[in-house]
Structure 1
Amino acid sequence: MTKIGIIVGSTRPGRRGRAVAEWVAEIAAREQPAAGFEIIDLADFGLPLLDEPHPPASGLYGKAHTIRWAEAIAGYDGFVFVTPEYNRSIPGALKNALDFVYAEWNDKAAGFVGYGLHGATRAVEHLRLVLAELKVATVRSQVALSLHHDFTISAPTEPGDLTPGPHQLSALTALLNDVVAWSRALAPIREGVPA
């Protein structure tokens, strides 16, 4: 079974990312029943700022938190990144988590569900560049959730309820289809099967 990790890219208290990831998981279970989807919440890993003495590309991980993170990421064939946009880019916690390991990301597929004032489109652009360096194939389809249109917010300090418009469902379905297909297509490369 193809395993896809849904990565919650923010660790901020009061974040909207967990609710978005749960929506993605719910739709994925319905639309892609032959694949397994699991939420990977960065807040559950408590990664400090990158503290490994060796470059991640060396694979010489010495810290328990790095080994735990590497094992988690290695277990997936692809990813859906759920990210807000912080100052026109991705959250520092997400960039830090990406930087901790290297080979565990390689030759996998990824899609993006962004949320923010403008759907986190600039954050997703940055994330695509970072993932390219990690040898992750990113799909074109993406979801851009607007805080104005896809959330019901009663107060600025409250996360609000996720209420995605109908067009977001078709965008998410296309993204999930692409991530699963690309993850399966890249399996021979991950397994070292010659072309």
Structure 2
Amino acid sequence: MTKLRIALVIGTTRATRFADIPADWLLEQLKDHPELSVEKVDLRDFNLPLFDEPASNLWMPSSDPAAIAWQKKIGEFDGYIFTVAEYNRSISGALKNALDQAYNEWNKKPMSAIAYGGTGAARALEHLRNMAVELQMVPTRNAVHIAAGDFFKVHPGMGGSGNMADIEENLKGSVKAMAEDLVWWGKATKAARG
């Protein structure tokens, strides 16, 4: 059976970002999954300009080569997991810009997240789910939230260890549920797209 291809999108480009720690941990958790093949896709690697096209690629092709490269890359996948940091109750500007740089490529595919912050980035993820609906993605119910004490325990910039093993027992149930959602919705939407 062919595995579903899932992009783990690093949703911030800041030099001091925390995203790599949970993303690398999640990749390790899912590396032997029998139905998912997960690849890290880092926004830093695409150097996207601020969205400045006459319209979304739903209505007309994009002209910027960086946007076209981004669209081609994300179009390769059957679904998405976003790393979500909460910035003033929403997602990062870099992630919002990346979402806006494509439209057709997101359509009819599931999305979930590994979200982190004092409230587990719950507000930012809810905002992202609303955007995903507009982009015709299927937001899944389950996601991984790293909140409060767990977040401070592992975030190096806040005196934490930088070691996800310190909290992974608290997250394994969420990882399992998220993966099950991605498999179910990934198979359903892939069959429907086919």
| TM-score, normalization by structure 2 | 0.91
Root-mean-square deviation (CA), in Å?
1.8
Report the AA paired with residue 57 of structure 1: L
Larger fraction in helix? 2
After superposition, residues 110-189 of structure 1 pair within 5 angstroms as 110-146=111-147, 148-150=149-151, 151-153=153-155, 155-156=157-158, 160-162=162-164, 163-189=166-192
1:155/1:79 CA distance change after superposition, 3 Å: closer
8 Å Cα contact 2:154-2:160 kept in structure 1:
no
Shift of 1:156: 3.3
Report the AA paired with residue 40 of structure 1: V
Aligned residues: 190
Report the AA paired with residue 174 of structure 1: A
Runs of 5+ consecutive residues of structure 1 not aligned to the other structure: none
| 2:20 corresponds to which of 18, 21, 39 | 18
Query: After superposition, what is the alpha-carbon deviation per residue over 1:80-128, rounded to whole angstroms, capped at 9, x for unaligned?
Result: 1111100011000000000011010000001111001110000000000
Shift of 1:153: 4.4
| 1:9 corresponds to which of 8, 11, 15 | 11
Q: Which segment drifts farther, 165-174 or 135-144?
A: 165-174
| Cα distance in 1 between the residues matched to 2:156 and 2:11 | 24
Query: After superposition, what is the alpha-carbon deviation per residue over 1:63-85, rounded to whole angstroms, capped at 9, x for unaligned?
Result: 11011000011000001111110
8 Å Cα contact 2:35-2:183 kept in structure 1:
no
8 Å Cα contact 1:107-1:190 kept in structure 2:
yes
1:147/1:41 CA distance change after superposition, 3 Å: farther
SS of 1:141's equivalent in the other structure is coil
| Cα distance in 1 between the residues matched to 2:38 and 2:45 | 17
Shift of 1:164: 2.4
8 Å Cα contact 1:110-1:139 kept in structure 2:
yes
SS of 1:104's equivalent in the other structure is helix
Report the AA paired with residue 191 of structure 2: P
Shift of 1:157: 8.1
Shift of 1:35: 2.1
Larger fraction in strand? 1
8 Å Cα contact 1:59-1:101 kept in structure 2:
no
1:167/1:148 CA distance change after superposition, 3 Å: closer
| TM-score, normalization by structure 1 | 0.90
Runs of 5+ consecutive residues of structure 2 not aligned to the other structure: none
